[in-house]
Amino acid sequence: MVQTLPPAKAPTSTTAAFVAALSSYLIWGLVNPVFFKSLGDVGAVEIVAHRVVWTVVLVGSIVLATRGPAAVVMAVGSWRRLGILVVTTLLVTVNWTVFIWAVVNSRLVEASLGYFINPLINVLLGVLFLNERLSRGRMLAVAIATAGVGSLVASYGAVPWIALSLALSFGFYALVRRKRRSILSSACW
């Protein structure tokens, strides 16, 4: 007599999302610096330009092949939406250029500091521009995180312009993208 095992329990969407996010951050954090450092003779602007051009070629080809030219027009939609896309594109371009420059120039610690500062910038921008409110527990958590990051910044011994550039460019990118969703959901799309 053959015994069968009960079917394996499928991971919940939350578990799957956590595993996917953790995996992507680990891959991003380990592979990108090694890859960009190996391109040390190539400037950061050139690396970012290649990323942009080849992404547009690849993704553009896929969109055109699967959905047609009308999908591109629909994606842009209006001058206002195009403006938002241009602003977010510029913010991501600044972020990636600074990050790659930091890696190529052996300033990875300062770049990493930017990604510790970024969540604090996100909270600040959310409170200032999105009218988000923090509970006492969250305010305490932000205060503890701020003290920890402040300690790292103080021990750095100089103004960490790379870290601040990364944190601010990505924070404002996230803010504009979030505001874009609310602007576009109130419009007739």
* Residue 120 near residue 146, CB atoms below 8 Å: yes
Residue closest to 146 by CA, chosen among 110, 119, 166: 119
Q: State the pLDDT at residue 6.
A: 60
Question: pLDDT > 90: what percent of the chain?
Answer: 46
Q: Cα dihedral sign for 104, 58, 115, 16? A: negative
| DSSP label of 158 | S
Asked whether 36 and 47 are in contact (CB, 8 A), the reply is: yes
pLDDT in tens, 134-180: 999 999 999 999 999 999 888 888 889 999 999 999 999 999 998 87
Q: Do the beta carbons of residue 104 and residue 39 sit within 8 Å?
A: yes
Task: Give this prediction's pTM.
Answer: 0.76
In this predicted structure, what is the pLDDT of residue 188?
41
Q: How far is CA 166 from the centre of its chain?
A: 10
Band of pLDDT at residue 13, cut at 50, 70 and 90: confident
Q: How far apart are CA 113 and CA 128, in angstroms?
A: 23
Percent above pLDDT 70 for the chain: 89
Look at 15-24, 70-79, 89-98, 127-136 and tell me which has the smallest mean pLDDT. Answer: 70-79
Q: Which residues contact 156 (CB under 8 A, 6 or more apart)?
A: 110, 113, 163
